[in-house]
């Protein structure tokens, strides 16, 4: 009789242990499934963040290629009052917007009109500005973008001191310094440079040809009418008139 009870107890213990093992295995499987789902969710989130970052980078590149004037304050005063106590010079790289250089912080840096005209800068060109310890600043063109030539007619605005070039049904603004050098007048034929890809509001003047009722002389952009700039296509504030 005792032997029978002992046997029954042993069978009961074995059954309970088996149930515990099955339950433990079930819990382990559930934990693994939860961990897998969590890892999958994290991976999906990471991929989404990468996609967003890539989209932002594409938009930033497009913004650089189609730079327009932004309603931001000029910082010429900041350049002129550079801290004379700093021994090392500062270097800032930015994008030319047709008149000024826009730095990575969104600030506008004035570019000498004579330098921009002589270098035939167009929207999207990359520039490097070096501000010396004495407050002088030096520009250098470091990344010209691809260009294409267009032929148009010079137009003078109502105020009389700003110019545009009409190409078919489009208007491109041009620097007055370029028109002044070529002694251009309204109605003259103009060869301009614009970005090969994308749209732009500004263009660089490459040449101006006199209209029929004026001299037929065609002048090319020569250094004697401009300040003498270094051959590396850079300009220092000491070179400016």
- The domain limits of the chain are 1-65, 76-144+230-239, 147-221
Mean pLDDT of all residues in 157-184: 91
Instruction: HSE, CB side, 13 Å, CA atoms: give it for residue 94.
Output: 22
98-101 long-range Cβ contacts below 8 angstroms, 24+ apart: 98/67, 98/69, 98/122, 98/123, 98/173, 98/200, 98/201, 98/202, 99/69, 99/175, 99/202, 100/74, 101/127, 101/129, 101/139
Q: What percentage of the chain reaches a pLDDT higher than 70?
A: 57
Q: Residue 222 pLDDT > 70, yes or no?
A: no
Q: Which of 75, 83, 118, 78 is nearest to 204 (CA)?
A: 118
Q: Residue 172 pLDDT > 90, yes or no?
A: yes
* Alpha-helical segments (H) within 74-201: 76-80, 113-119, 176-182
pLDDT digits (tens, 9 = 90+) for 117-142: 999 999 999 999 999 888 888 999 99
When pLDDT is cut at 50, 70 and 90, the band that residue 231 belongs to is: very low
Q: Residue 227 pLDDT > 90, yes or no?
A: no
pLDDT digits (tens, 9 = 90+) for 96-108: 999 999 999 899 9
CATH architecture of 147-221: Beta Barrel (2.40)
**pLDDT for res 53:** 74
Task: Give the global pTM.
Answer: 0.55
**pLDDT for res 235:** 56
**pLDDT for res 12:** 57
Secondary structure letter of residue 145 according to DSSP: P
Contact 190, 153 (CB under 8 A): yes
pLDDT digits (tens, 9 = 90+) for 52-111: 777 677 666 666 665 544 444 444 434 443 444 445 789 999 999 999 999 998 999 999
């Amino acid at each position: 009789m005792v032997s029978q009870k002992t046997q029954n107890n042993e069978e009961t213990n074995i059954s309970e242990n088996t149930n515990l093992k099955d339950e433990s295995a079930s819990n382990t499987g559930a934990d693994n499934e939860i961990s897998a789902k969590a890892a999958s969710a994290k991976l999906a989130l990471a991929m989404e963040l990468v996609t967003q970052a890539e989209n932002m980078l594409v938009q930033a590149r497009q913004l650089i290629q189609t730079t327009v004037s932004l309603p931001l304050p000029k910082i010429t005063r900041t350049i002129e009052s550079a801290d004379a106590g700093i021994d090392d010079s500062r270097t800032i790289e930015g994008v030319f917007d047709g008149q000024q250089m826009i730095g990575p912080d969104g600030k506008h840096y004035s570019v000498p009109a004579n330098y921009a005209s002589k270098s035939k800068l167009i929207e999207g060109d990359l520039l490097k500005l070096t501000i010396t310890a004495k407050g002088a600043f030096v520009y250098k063109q470091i990344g010209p973008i691809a260009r294409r030539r267009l032929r148009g007619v010079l137009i003078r605005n109502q105020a009389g001191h700003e110019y545009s070039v009409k190409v078919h049904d489009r208007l491109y603004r041009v620097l007055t310094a370029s028109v002044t050098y070529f002694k251009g007048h309204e109605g003259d034929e103009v060869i301009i440079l614009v970005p090969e890809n994308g749209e732009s509001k500004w263009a660089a003047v490459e040449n101006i040809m006199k209209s029929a009722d004026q001299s037929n002389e065609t002048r090319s952009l020569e250094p004697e009418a401009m300040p003498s700039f270094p051959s590396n296509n850079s300009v220092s504030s000491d070179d400016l008139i």
